[in-house]
A and B are shown apart, each in its own frame.
Chain A
Amino acid sequence: KNQVEQSPQSLIILEGKNCTLQCNYTVSPFSNLRWYKQDTGRGPVSLTIMTFSENTKSNGRYTATLDADTKQSSLHITASQLSDSASYICVVADRGSTLGRLYFGRGTQLTVWP
């Protein structure tokens, strides 16, 4: 069964601190893995997309890593800001689908306190 599991479910950190979010998946055949940021009441916005051959991808203070062998990914946020408070969703695409079928994790709810 194709699944995407994220941890932790929620996380509280102080402004300026770093944090790392985890994602494990069982989707096969694998096409790519994305991290989305979803603000409360808004649609998800893509942060990074990594294909099978990519180990790391950065977008400003966000750095994602991918280990396709162990089927794990992480999202590292550096020097957190209040605006980073959101749900971070790990999404894996199925290569076998012409639809671009996506499998979603439940997200990690990050709260950044001043």
Chain B
Amino acid sequence: EADIYQTPRYLVIGTGKKITLECSQTMGHDKMYWYQQDPGMELHLIHYSYGVNSTEKGDLSSESTVSRIRTEHFPLTLESARPSHTSQYLCASSAGTGTYEQYFGPGTRLTVT
């Protein structure tokens, strides 16, 4: 098991609320990623970071934002949740060398009512 953690694991929240999904890793990895996954579908990259103070948008447009103030921490924020944001959010990290192996957290299942 990789040392990458996500909280909360499940979240049900009403429309318009602000939420932050937490992701932490203890492996000292520079690269971190956020993916969005709907049931039966492939993972889509929504944000990534090369290191502290680096954040970039991924392939799938997302209304969420991320920050990378510390190496181990890569939180994702939705300022105003909508039902269209209902999905599974997966965080991953990578040492960024060799095969660029990515280690995934357990995910956060978000439901916006």
Is B75 located at the chain interface by the 8 A CB criterion? no
Alpha-carbon distance between A43 and B109 when the two chains are bound, in angstroms:
11
Mark contacts of A6-42 with chain B using CB atoms, 8 A cut-off: 1 yes-contact digit, 0 otherwise. Answer: 0000000000000000000000000110100000011
| Chain A residues positioned under 8 Å from B1 (CB to CB) | 45
**Majority secondary structure, A binding face:** strand
Mark contacts of A48-91 with chain B using CB atoms, 8 A cut-off: 1 yes-contact digit, 0 otherwise. Answer: 01010000000000000000000000000000000000000100
Chain B: number of interface residues, binned into ranges:
20 to 34
Contact A49 B99 (CB under 8 A): yes
Alpha-carbon distance between A100 and B19 when the two chains are bound, in angstroms:
28
Contact A41 B109 (CB under 8 A): yes
Interface size on A, residues (CB 8 A): 24
Nearest-Cβ distance from residue B83 to partner chain A, whole angstroms: 20
Contact A107 B104 (CB under 8 A): no
- Chain B interface residues toward A at CB < 8 A: 1, 4, 6, 31, 40-43, 45, 48, 50, 88, 90, 92, 94, 96, 99-107, 109
A-B contact pairs, 18 of them (CB 8 A): A31-B99, A34-B101, A41-B109, A45-B104, A46-B101, A49-B99, A49-B101, A89-B43, A93-B99, A98-B96, A99-B50, A100-B31, A100-B100, A102-B100, A102-B102, A106-B40, A106-B41, A106-B42
